[in-house]
Amino acid sequence: MESITNKFRPPLASHRHQQYLSSCTRTHQIGALALVATTFFLTRMMDQTFSDCTYSCNATPHASRGVSGFNADRPISWPDRGYGSRLDLKVYVYDEEEIDGLKALMYGRDASISPDSCIRGQWGTQVKIHRMFLKSRFRTEMKEKADLFFVPAYTKCVRMMGGLNDKEINQTYVKVLSQMPYFRLSGGRNHIFVFPSGAGAHLFKSWNMYLNRSIILTPEGDRTDKRDTSAFNTWKDIIIPGNVDDGMTGIVPFVQPLTLSRRKYLANFLGRAQGKVGRIHLIELAKQYPDKLESPELKFSGPDKLGRTEYFEHLRNAKFCLAPRGESSWTLRFYESYFVECVPVLLSDQVELPFQDVIDYTRISIKWPSTRIGPQLLEYLESIPDELIEEMITRGRQVRCLFVYALEFQPCSAINGVFWELQRKIRHFHQSAETFWLHNSSIVNRDLVSLSDWKPPMPLP
């Protein structure tokens, strides 16, 4: 491949030109090369389409794109069909001072909860995604030009820390939504909400009345154990990765993977029983086969509390990491497994996984029926040669960047994956049961009042 210096070297077309070049000082030549290299580097960094980074702008056949190929020369790419060839969207982020009640959903009724206390743990995506949207180059401060609207709320954290109770959360959400003309205009179809826990949108008790058309970002695709109705809709909502500890997703994780030959166990399960049948079976199986399956009793308080370092040291000490469902179908352990290079084994039948248009999970994980947890599972795992395990680990290593909430300028990250999925949701026309339009394209309400003159509180669609 032609080098940068060769690519930009002008042709020596004449004797006079040759004399001119030879008269240049060495300092001039070095300076010119430095300028070219700097320009090239900055161009690559500022490229908004990612076409020269990790994401390909051209559509590729399903069989050869994404993890299916695992080819460093053919990086992860979203298909043209339905997504477009490059990211091109505008998102308006509501300001906490703009809408009365929004601060309560972020910091509690008395504004005493710090976002930094909410960013850690498996629910931290509610804070991370908001901060990344605020810094995004796709952000617009003009509502009339926005394709989508992001509504920040740290509801799960606020509830867990006593900042709001369930009744207050419900009332505050309704109050907030009634102050948003563009929510009413579209019926909420172009508004984005993050619900980062297994409860999903059920944290807002009236979600089914008000958010049934909105875009929900959540790691949870099923809630069949406690709810009659799932808050996740395949066609409008987006599954996002769980929030893996930042110390494990950086360039140098604080716990390094072990080679397969140094791992003590065939498989492990690091979790509590929680009264769930699958988890109880795994704990009992570990007692029968203690040399093959590790399942230590986890303590989260007291002198024997398992720290974050000890947790990942346990996780890395097996070839396979078992991930059964808990209170809901999704499990953070599935994502954590990739950062200790342990092949995850899903034991959650209803689980939904992120970015399925670009990741072929059959090549980087195993999904086993939760109804068949027993010795047969260990026999199956034991039959898989180390060579094949290494191949699965290598493939997982290539795509795990999509499970990292890194800043947008990093070409492979969860937030860029979210943007690609959001782009697929964009509509260029919006309507609801409470919006109407006239011959001159003006939008009015039921009383024929123009959109620009709508005053809160507004009837919600």
More confident residue, 294 or 73: 294
- pLDDT tens for residues 20-59? 334 445 555 555 555 545 544 444 444 433 333 333 333 3
Q: Which of 248-262, 277-291, 423-437 has the lowest mean pLDDT?
A: 423-437
223, 231 Cβ separation under 8 angstroms: yes
Cis peptide bond upstream of 241, omega within 30: no
pLDDT winner (highest mean) among 254-258, 408-412, 435-439? 254-258
Domains in the chain, start-ordered, CATH in brackets?
A: 1-45 (no CATH), 47-86 (no CATH), 91-243+427-453 (no CATH), 252-404 (3.40.50.2000)
More confident residue, 410 or 228: 410
pLDDT tier for residue 300 given thresholds of 50, 70 and 90? low
Contacts of 220 by beta carbon, 8 Å cutoff, 6+ apart: 195, 197, 198, 199, 200, 231, 232, 328, 329, 330, 352
Side-chain-side CA neighbours of 139 within 13 Å: the count stands at: 16
More confident residue, 254 or 60: 254
- pLDDT tens for residues 163-181? 999 999 999 999 999 999 9
Instruction: Provide the pLDDT for residue 230.
Output: 80
- Percent of the chain past pLDDT 70, that is, above it, reads 82
217, 151 Cβ separation under 8 angstroms: no
Question: Is pTM beyond 0.75 here?
Answer: yes
- Average of per-residue pLDDT across 342-354: 95
- Average of per-residue pLDDT across 448-457: 88
- pLDDT tens for residues 189-206? 999 999 988 888 888 999
pLDDT tier for residue 311 given thresholds of 50, 70 and 90? very high
Angstrom distance (rounded) from CA 240 to CA 217:
6
- Average of per-residue pLDDT across 340-346: 97
More confident residue, 186 or 83: 186
Residue 319 has pLDDT above 50, yes or no: yes
Residue 302 has pLDDT above 90, yes or no: no
Residue 226 has pLDDT above 90, yes or no: no
Burial letters 89-114, b for 16+ CB under 10 A, else e: bbbbbbebeebebbbbbbbbeeeebe
Instruction: Provide the pLDDT for residue 18.
Output: 44
Residue 117 has pLDDT above 50, yes or no: yes
347, 283 Cβ separation under 8 angstroms: no
SS (H, E, C) the chain: CCCHHHHHCCCCCCHHHHHHHHHCCHHHHHHHHHHHHHHHHHHHHHCCCCCCCCCCCCCCCCCCCHHHCCECCECCCCCCCCCCCCCCCCEEECCCCCCCCHHHHHHCCCCCCCHHHHCCCCCCHHHHHHHHHHHCCCECCCHHHCCEEECCCCHHHHHHCCCCCHHHHHHHHHHHHCCCHHHHHHCCCCEEEECCCCCHHHHCCCHHHHCCCCEEEECCCCCCCCCCCCCCCCCCCEECCCCCCHHHHCCCCCCCCCCHHHCCEEEECCCCCCCCHHHHHHHHHHHHCCCCEECCCCCCCCCCCCCHHHHHHHHCCEEEEEEECCCCCCCHHHHHHCCCCCEEEEECCCCCCCCCCCCCHHHCCEECCHHHCCHHHHHHHHCCCHHHHHHHHHHHHHHHHHHCCCCCCCCCCHHHHHHHHHHCCCCCCCCCCCCEECCCCCEECCCCCEHHHCCCCCCCC
What are the structure tokens assigned to 5, written together? 């210096």
Return the amino acid letter for 360. Answer: D
Number of neighbouring beta carbons within 10 Å of residue 409: 13
Mean pLDDT of the chain: 84
Q: Which of 263, 242, 10 is nearest to 128 (CA)?
A: 242
- Average of per-residue pLDDT across 145-164: 95
- Percent of the chain past pLDDT 90, that is, above it, reads 61
Instruction: Provide the pLDDT for residue 307.
Output: 85
Instruction: Provide the pLDDT for residue 2.
Output: 41
- Average of per-residue pLDDT across 431-436: 85
- Average of per-residue pLDDT across 59-81: 50
Number of neighbouring beta carbons within 10 Å of residue 403: 24
Q: Which of 96-105, 292-301, 313-322, 347-356 has the lowest mean pLDDT?
A: 292-301
Angstrom distance (rounded) from CA 385 to CA 423:
41
Angstrom distance (rounded) from CA 106 to CA 81:
37
